[in-house]
Amino acid sequence: MKKTTVLFLCLVVMTFAIHAGIVSAEDDLIKIGALQLVEHSSLDAAYAGFIDGLAAAGYTEDVNIEVDFQNAQGDQANLMTISERFVKNKVDLILAIATPSAQAVASATTEIPIIVTAVTDLVGARLVESNETPGTNVSGTNDAAPMEQQLALMIELFPEAKTLGIIYTSSEVNSEIQAEQISALAEQAGLAIETGTITSVNDIEQIASSLSGKVDMIYVPTDNTIASAMPNLAKVAEEKKIPVFCGAPAMVEAGGLATVGIDYYKLGVQTGAMAARVLNGEAEPATMPVESLADVDVVLNQTVADAIGYVFPENVLERATEIYTE
């Protein structure tokens, strides 16, 4: 039989098998499950960066990878259901965006490689044994905020401030860790602390209003619940003429006054590069150190400053990487 005839018959058989459901045209694609806690710009940017980071390493959607992206909408039950589905579907790698997502997938599997991003403290969240040697099936990038620099900016902008208010979600481990860290730093700098915790977005306005008469400025960490509803906090801040400093630049864009923070898109790109090394067989999460982003940006919101009657010093404006005006 001629070689061309054999190839033709093979093609016919394969086509029949695909249409009959015996094999799938997607069988050769690497399967990645991506679980994001909730929709807000920082986490969205991290995911976009992850996809671009994979593409830069030669892994492109619908070419050699298939990504099943799922948003849990901030619901713990959704996190667990989606995590279990990824395991059942035997994906080759899982991306977890934000601490609750990472904890959910880590509890669902110790076999599938898990790469995380936008997690403040992987050790504190009990995802890894250490940042240097994770020792589990989890590694990735953290979004630990440069709190010393953030506090320095707060004091520089409001040198007469006596009391700092901190608002965070009580159920988010990452937020609790950050609240404790900024409290310790602020107390060392001579500031008094007033803390308000929320359980859902519905609590934001009430807690912010209750703190406004007691504090000179408010700090919110990279808290996923608050980040998803920054306009709620911005509304109170504008009414009470109180400055709100944020853990992430996207939260400043959404209504905060200022921050020194990281670029979540760049963090995502770095995370994608780590995932590519795992897919290439060049690394394993257990021995791949957790990474962080070295670059930080000074981000200001001029519209918010105008609304609360504040004027940024010229030297701070000159240092700013981004100034939002709308």
Whether the predicted pLDDT of 6 surpasses 90: no
Both 44 and 183 in one domain: the answer is no
Q: In which band, very low, low, confident or very high, does the pLDDT at 26 lie, cut at 50, 70 and 90?
A: low
Both 101 and 67 in one domain: the answer is yes
pTM score, whole prediction? 0.77
Residues 50/95, Cβ–Cβ less than 8 Å = yes
Is residue 4 in a domain? no
Domain count across the chain: 2
Both 158 and 80 in one domain: the answer is no
Is residue 7 in a domain? no
Whether the predicted pLDDT of 19 surpasses 80: no
- Tell me the backbone φ, ψ of residue 228, rounded to 5 degrees: -75, -10
| Helical pair 76-88 and 99-108, crossing angle rounded to 10 deg | 40
Is residue 39 in a domain? yes
Q: What is residue 294's predicted lDDT score, i.e. its pLDDT?
A: 78
Both 108 and 126 in one domain: the answer is yes
Both 84 and 216 in one domain: the answer is no
Range of the domain at 124: 26-143+264-287
Q: Which of 3-12, 33-42, 86-95, 185-194 has the lowest mean pLDDT?
A: 3-12
Q: What is residue 221's predicted lDDT score, i.e. its pLDDT?
A: 95
Is pLDDT larger for residue 311 or for residue 4?
311
Residues 87/108, Cβ–Cβ less than 8 Å = yes
Q: In which band, very low, low, confident or very high, does the pLDDT at 241 lie, cut at 50, 70 and 90?
A: very high
Both 196 and 301 in one domain: the answer is yes
**In this structure, what is the dihedral angle of CA atoms 202, 204, 210, 213, given to the nearest 10 degrees?**
-150
CATH number at 189 reads 3.40.50.2300
Is residue 11 in a domain? no
Is residue 106 in a domain? yes
Both 253 and 275 in one domain: the answer is no
Both 209 and 105 in one domain: the answer is no
Residue ranges of alpha helices (H) inside 74-227 are 76-88, 99-108, 147-157, 173-188, 204-212, 224-227
Is residue 119 in a domain? yes
- The Cα–Cα gap between 167 and 152 comes to 19
Both 81 and 167 in one domain: the answer is no
